[in-house]
Amino acid sequence: MKRNVQDTTVLSNGVKMPGLGLGVFKVEEGPVLVEAVKAAIRHGYRSIDTAAVYGNEAGVGQGIAEGIKEAGLKRSDIFVTSKVWNDDLGYDSTIAAFETTLEKLGVDDLDLYLIHWPVEGKYKDAWRALETLYKQGRVKAIGVSNFQISHLENLMSDAEIKPMVNQVELHPRLTQKELRAFCRSQGIQIEAWSPLMQGEILAHEDLKELAAKYNKTPAQIIIRWNLQNEVVVIPKSTKEHRIISNADVYDFTLSKEDMETIDELNQHHRVGPDPDHFDF
């Protein structure tokens, strides 16, 4: 069977989630965003990831609506993820935030809804709200973002439903091996945000050598490394040629040695905030 951008991983509740999607962090509302989403759908992407705090859910919704119409698809063909922001964590406020997200996206339900950050003293109430939405069938899967092992253990100590996904910063400088192993043991799918380290890592000599060896780009090498590690990956781009290029990773396989070479680039280095020490 030929592998492609529509390949999925099966979450713990049986829901199929594409292994590769489009991220839209820091992409402002407007035609550039709408066109990026449409381009992704046109070139086979079936997963779009946004968040309330990105302030672009309306544009994402427009891009999805126009993209599926042009491609002759249905809403159910696209896996849509959004996240509840820190200010809205709490039982009632999370439910209200979810309603706002649906309205902005122009959809009746979500495929995945995440708690964006583990704000102490708040995320358990928000999780109860996600459990309610899940039981009501308004979201197909629920999860968290930026949760460390300690946060997950605390959440699961009295949760009815385990998170199905944990979306975290993950790239060759931050390989998250311990967290990945823990999540695998709990049946929680790891998803990588900032997989290309906001471009910082692309000039690394080891990655350039691997790119030359496989006749690929450093970005494609990193995306392939994630997929082979069974990590869902959502590289962000607004440029059509990059959106196409980021998905051109299904015609080669990195060797075990080359996977290890990338693993060895780990320095526990973050480009985003530390989930144990953030103040927003």
Whether residue 134 lies inside any domain: the answer is yes
At 277 the pLDDT is 92
At 140 the pLDDT is 98
Whether residue 100 lies inside any domain: the answer is yes
- Per residue of the chain (280 residues), give pLDDT as tens: 568 899 999 999 999 999 999 999 988 889 999 999 999 999 999 999 999 999 999 999 999 999 999 999 999 999 999 999 999 999 999 999 999 999 999 999 999 999 999 999 999 999 999 999 999 999 999 999 999 999 999 999 999 999 999 999 999 999 999 999 999 999 999 999 999 999 999 999 999 999 999 999 999 999 999 999 999 999 999 999 999 999 999 999 999 999 999 999 999 999 999 999 998 9
Whether residue 242 lies inside any domain: the answer is no
Whether residue 243 lies inside any domain: the answer is no
At 144 the pLDDT is 98
What residues act catalytically?
54
Q: How far apart are CA 58 and CA 233, in angstroms?
A: 23
> What residue type is assigned to position 4 of the chain?
N
Whether residue 212 lies inside any domain: the answer is no
At 78 the pLDDT is 98
Closest by Cα among 233, 236, 234, 237 to 225: 233
At 2 the pLDDT is 61
Assign 250 to helix, strand or coil.
Answer: coil
Count the domains in the chain.
1
Closest by Cα among 101, 157, 91 to 127: 91
Q: Residue 132 sits in which domain range?
A: 16-199+231-236
Whether residue 272 lies inside any domain: the answer is no
Whether residue 258 lies inside any domain: the answer is no
Q: What is the CATH number of the domain that holds 186?
A: 3.20.20.100
Q: How far apart are CA 254 and CA 276, in angstroms?
A: 33
At 223 the pLDDT is 98
Whether residue 185 lies inside any domain: the answer is yes
At 232 the pLDDT is 98
Give me the DSSP letters along 85-134: -GGG-SHHHHHHHHHHHHHHHT-S-EEEEEE-S--TTTHHHHHHHHHHHH
Q: How far apart are CA 225 and CA 176, in angstroms?
A: 13
